[in-house]
């Protein structure tokens, strides 16, 4: 993968965001990110296929047939094969997987891959109902008005009861603190302008079910975001065609995908079982272990999900994830830095874009292009890991990348 590009993750928190003023639309974000990638790879003439990941523009923007925007992005993409992938919040990583498989199948040498979502088209309470489509529709009538915060509130209280409120809340607060501090180093992040001084105090706020959900506060949640991310997936022949040095690309060495029953409740609310399976598959595919990973981009749709992801990877024992975070091991200077540009909590969560944004961040880190957000990549651990989750641990894509 090479030539990553992110638009700004637009929403509350950005100085330029105003809910009553005109903002970029779906088409604008797609064109910006698409052109941002094309300029780095020698133009549309070098592209064989196109893929766009998008969850639910049909409801947020009354727009389907998303693949049809590629010729709008650039005239040179007219008549090139294009598809759209959808798997709730994992739609972006499913687009990556589709591109990877095209290259492996030798039907393409260069695949332009985008992920996008524009969610600030409706009020948040209506958006919560739209996002509920990532779960089972039959559960919607019995679910919380904020459906997915309610789902992960249930996971949070199960974790509190099993392993203790105080230590879990401290780990979640530290996760939030790390997310904002990392986002402050990334100009496209939604929390880039955040000036809160005592982030831990905010993160330690006791949840209030009267104003939100019972066991999470709003700072535990990912952002309502608009944006688009793009990256090119290439074979070695594709790199030559585009005149790109291998050192400016990251090698994809492992892919793990897993699906669980959308209609079934989690067997254990304190575990992300499907995440663990996808990560295990990715490690096996790559021939690496958790000890080899230098940095992780995980799907922290909620702070409790970030803690559970640490355990699903195997970096901490079940119930020890909060300590791993509180002790600084997931911070940008820790053992395994997580979400170095803020993740879903800090950078933002334009749902269909998230999986692609994760890949762009790993590409930036492993090629030294992350600017102020750059971390040190140890020579003996030249690998990055992404985990993109759709629904409540239902649709999972995990990818392992290697620094060239």
Q: Does position 271 have pLDDT exceeding 90, yes or no?
A: yes
Q: Does position 200 have pLDDT exceeding 90, yes or no?
A: yes
Q: What are phi and psi of 2, to 5 degrees?
A: -155, 165
At 314-365, the pLDDT tens digits run: 999 999 999 999 999 999 999 999 999 999 999 999 999 999 999 999 999 9
Place of tokens 């727009």: 63
CB atoms within 10 A of CB 102: 22
Dist CA 193 CA 145 (whole Å): 29
Contacts of the segment 29-32: beta carbons below 8 A, 24+ positions apart: 29/116, 29/118, 29/226, 29/227, 29/228, 30/69, 30/72, 30/73, 30/114, 30/116, 30/228, 31/72, 31/73, 32/5, 32/7, 32/228
- The mean of the pLDDT values for the chain is 97
Dist CA 37 CA 160 (whole Å): 44
- Whole-number pLDDT of residue 67: 98
Q: Which of 354, 344, 355, 277 is nearest to 312 (CA)?
A: 277
Residue 223 token pair: 């952002």
Q: Residues 243-264: what's their mean pLDDT? A: 98
Neighbouring-strand partners of residue 256: 398
DSSP 3-state assignment of 72?
Answer: helix
Q: Are strands 383-390 and 395-403 parallel, antiparallel or unpaired?
A: antiparallel
**Intra-chain end-to-end CA distance of the chain, in Å:** 11
CB atoms within 10 A of CB 142: 7
Residue 132 token pair: 């509920």
At 171-198, the pLDDT tens digits run: 999 999 999 999 999 999 999 999 999 9
Query: Do 33 and 49 contact (CB within 8 A), yes or no?
Result: no
Query: Do 360 and 314 contact (CB within 8 A), yes or no?
Result: no
Dist CA 10 CA 29 (whole Å): 10
At 353-378, the pLDDT tens digits run: 999 999 999 999 999 999 999 999 99
Please, what is the Cα angle at 129 between 343 and 28, to 5 degrees? 55
Dist CA 194 CA 205 (whole Å): 17
Instruction: Using pLDDT thresholds of 50, 70 and 90, give the confidence band for residue 143.
Output: confident
Q: What are phi and psi of 287, to 5 degrees?
A: 75, 35
HSE, CB side, 13 Å, CA atoms: give it for residue 197. 0
Q: Does position 125 have pLDDT exceeding 90, yes or no?
A: no
- Whole-number pLDDT of residue 14: 97
Q: Which of 191, 195, 247 is nearest to 224 (CA)?
A: 191
Q: Please report the domains of the chain, with CATH numbers, ordered by start residue.
A: 1-404 (3.40.47.10)
Q: What is the torsional sign of CA 3, 367, 251, 187?
A: negative
Dist CA 286 CA 159 (whole Å): 31
Q: What is the torsional sign of CA 127, 385, 393, 220?
A: negative
At 13-62, the pLDDT tens digits run: 999 999 999 999 999 999 999 999 999 999 999 999 999 999 999 999 99
């Amino acid at each position: 993968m090479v030539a990553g590009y992110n638009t700004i993750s637009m929403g509350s928190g950005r100085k330029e965001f105003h809910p009553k003023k005109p903002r970029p639309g779906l088409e604008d974000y797609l064109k910006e990110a698409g052109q941002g990638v094309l300029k780095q790879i020698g133009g549309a003439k070098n592209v064989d296929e196109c893929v766009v990941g998008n969850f639910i523009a049909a409801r947020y923007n009354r727009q389907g047939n998303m693949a049809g925007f590629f010729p709008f992005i650039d005239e040179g993409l007219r008549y090139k094969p294009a598809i759209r992938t959808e798997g709730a919040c994992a739609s972006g990583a499913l687009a990556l997987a589709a591109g990877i498989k095209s290259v492996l199948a030798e039907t393409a040498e260069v695949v332009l891959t985008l992920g996008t979502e524009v969610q600030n088209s409706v009020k948040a309470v209506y958006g919560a109902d739209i996002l509920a489509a990532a779960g089972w529709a039959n559960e919607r009538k019995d679910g919380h008005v904020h459906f997915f915060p309610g789902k992960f509130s249930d996971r949070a209280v199960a974790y509190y009861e099993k392993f203790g409120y105080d230590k879990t809340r401290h780990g979640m607060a530290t996760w939030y603190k790390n997310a904002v501090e990392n986002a402050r180093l990334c100009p496209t992040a939604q929390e880039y302008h955040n000036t809160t001084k005592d982030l831990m105090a905010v993160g330690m706020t006791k949840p209030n079910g009267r104003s939100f959900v019972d066991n999470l506060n709003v700072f535990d949640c990912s952002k309502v975001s608009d944006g688009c991310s793009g990256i090119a997936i290439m074979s070695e022949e594709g790199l030559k065609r585009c005149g790109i040095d291998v050192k400016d690309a990251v090698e994809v060495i492992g892919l793990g995908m897993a699906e669980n029953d959308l209609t079934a409740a989690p067997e254990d609310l304190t575990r992300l079982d499907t995440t663990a399976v996808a990560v295990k598959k990715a490690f096996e595919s790559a021939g690496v272990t958790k000890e080899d990973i230098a940095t992780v981009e995980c799907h922290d749709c909620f702070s409790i999900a970030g803690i559970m992801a640490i355990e699903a990877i195997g970096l901490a024992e079940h119930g020890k994830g909060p300590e791993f975070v509180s002790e600084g091991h997931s911070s940008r200077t820790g053992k395994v830095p997580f979400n170095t540009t803020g993740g879903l909590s800090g950078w933002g969560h334009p749902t269909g874009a998230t999986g692609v944004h994760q890949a762009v961040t790993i590409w930036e880190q492993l090629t030294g292009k992350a600017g102020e957000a750059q971390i040190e990549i140890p020579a003996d651990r030249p690998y990055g890991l992404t985990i993109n989750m759709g629904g409540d641990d239902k649709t999972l894509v995990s990818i392992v990348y290697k620094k060239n």
